Amino acid sequence: MTNPIFAAIAPPLRVLMGPGPSDVHPRVLEAFARPTVGHLDPYYLQVMGELQQMLRQVFRTDNPMTLAISGTGSAGMEATVVNLIEPGDRMVVGVNGVFGGRMAEVATRAGAEVTRIEKPWGEVFSAAEVAEAVEKVRPKVVGIVMAETSTGAWQPIEEISRIVHDAGALLLVDAVTSLGGVPVEVDAWQIDAIYSGTQKCLSCPPGLSPVSFGPRAMEAMQRRKHKVQSWYLDISLLASYWGEERVYHHTAPINMTYALHEALRMVLEEGLEASFARHLRNHEGLRAGLQALGIDFTAAEGNRLPMLNAVKIPDGVDDARLRKDLLNLFGIEIGAGLGVFKGKVWRIGLMGHASRTRNVLLFLAALEQLLESQGRPSVGGASIAAANAVFAQA
C-alpha cells in the first residue's frame, strides 16, 4: 500500500462572521509570512518589546507585566487563574454562559474553592448580586466575563471592580471578545488581571493570548506559598523572558508574534475610539436589518455586544440547513448556539476586519434569500433598506 501525497493546502475564501476567528487583513497575513528568526534573536527581542508597548496602549494600562501568552485565549484564562489561585483559595465566578463556566472549571482544577453565581444565559450581573456573593464568601479572586461570546451579553465592569476591591479581593476579567471592539480600561477600572485572544477584534490568527497583570496581582503572586500549577504558564518564569533579562523560557511562536504586531499596528493606526465607533455603527446597521426580518437579540438592549450579535432563530427555520447554505452558497460563516442556546440562537460576528458595512449588507441579502427559501414571507429587501438607512445617517 502506497502512502498518498496530499494536495497543497488551498483553503476557500470565507467571510468570517461567526464567533471567531474573524477575517484577517492581508497586511497581517503578509507579516505572518516574514522570515522566521530565532526566539532570542536581537530583532525578535525588539519586536517583543514593541508588541508589549502596543498591548499596553490597547489594554489602556501601564502594567509592566503585559505580554502575549503562547497559546489561544483559553491559555490566557489558565495563565491568569493558576497564577492568582493556590489550593484552598476562595474564588467567586460569574457564570452566565459557556466561558464563565469554563473559568470556574479552570479554577476548580487549580484547587480553588469556587462559588458560582449564576444568571440566565443572555443576562448580566448587577453590582448588588456580585456584592452579595463577595460579602458572603470573602474570596481572594472574583472572575467575570466582560463579553460572553456564547450569549452576546456585555457585562459592565466599573462598579463591580469597586465592590471587589472594597472587599480586599482581586478582579480577573475575560476580555477575549471585547479587546479592540469596545472600551477596555485596565487602569481606570483597576482590573487586576485580564486576558484576551488574538482572533476576535484584533483580527489576527488564533495562537496568542494578550494578558496583563496589575500591581496587586503581582504582589499576590509574590506571596504565594506554592509553586504555580503550570510550569509553562508561570508568570514568575515568563517575566524573565518578557522582562529586560530576556532569559530563555520556551520557543515562542515567532511568526504569530509578527502577525499580532501588525494587527496591533492596524488597530492603533485606526485609533481605538474610531474602532469602537466602527463596531457600533455596523452593529446598529445589522440590528436594523434583523428587526426588519422580525429577528430579535438574546441580550437586553443596553447589554448587547456590538461585535458579537446573538440572535433568536425564527420559528420554523432549519438552523443547520440555513448555516450550511450560507457557507456553501455565499461563503459566509456564522456561529451556531452553544449549550442551552444550541439550535435556538445564531451568533453573528462583526469583529475586527470583518466589521465592515459591505459584510453587513452581504449577510442581510443572503439571509433574506435563504429565509424565503425556507418558506418565510418575502420582505422585498426591507432588511437591506433598514441597514442602509442607518449607514446613511452615519
Q: Does domain 26-268 have CATH number 3.40.50.12140?
A: no
Q: Which three cell numbers stand for residue 392?
A: 446613511
User: Pick from 330, 265, 272, 278: which is nearest to 15 by CA?
Assistant: 330
Mean pLDDT computed over 241-248: 88
Mean pLDDT computed over 262-268: 98
Q: Is the pLDDT of residue 1 over 90?
A: no
Look up the CATH architecture of domain 271-393: Alpha-Beta Complex (3.90)
Q: Is the pLDDT of residue 96 over 80?
A: yes
Mean pLDDT computed over 19-37: 98
pLDDT at residue 3 in the model: 87
CA 319/CA 97 separation, integer angstroms: 20
CA 363/CA 286 separation, integer angstroms: 9
For 141, half-sphere exposure in the C-beta direction (CA atoms, 13 angstrom radius) is 32
* H or E stretch covering 84: helix 73-84
Please state the domain extents for the chain: 26-268, 271-393
Q: Each residue of 165-215: pLDDT tens digit?
A: 999 999 999 999 999 999 999 999 999 999 999 999 999 999 999 999 999
CB atoms inside a 10 Å sphere around CB 316? 9
CA 363 to chain centre: 22
Place of cell 501601564: 62
1 CB contacts (<8 Å, ≥6 apart)?
Answer: none
Whether residue 252 contacts residue 39, with contact meaning beta carbons closer than 8 Å, is answered with yes
State the Cα angle at 49 between 248 and 262, rounded to 5°: 115
Mean pLDDT computed over 304-329: 97
CA 116 to chain centre: 21
pTM of the model: 0.96
CA 388/CA 380 separation, integer angstroms: 14
Q: Is the pLDDT of residue 164 over 90?
A: yes
User: Pick from 81, 305, 78, 51: which is nearest to 192 by CA?
Assistant: 81
For 350, half-sphere exposure in the C-beta direction (CA atoms, 13 angstrom radius) is 31
**Helix (DSSP H) and strand (DSSP E) numbers for the chain:** 13, 14
pLDDT band at 144 (very low <50, low <70, confident <90, very high): very high
Q: What percentage of the chain exceeds 90 in pLDDT? A: 97
Mean pLDDT computed over 148-152: 96
Mean pLDDT computed over 22-31: 98
* H or E stretch covering 325: helix 319-330
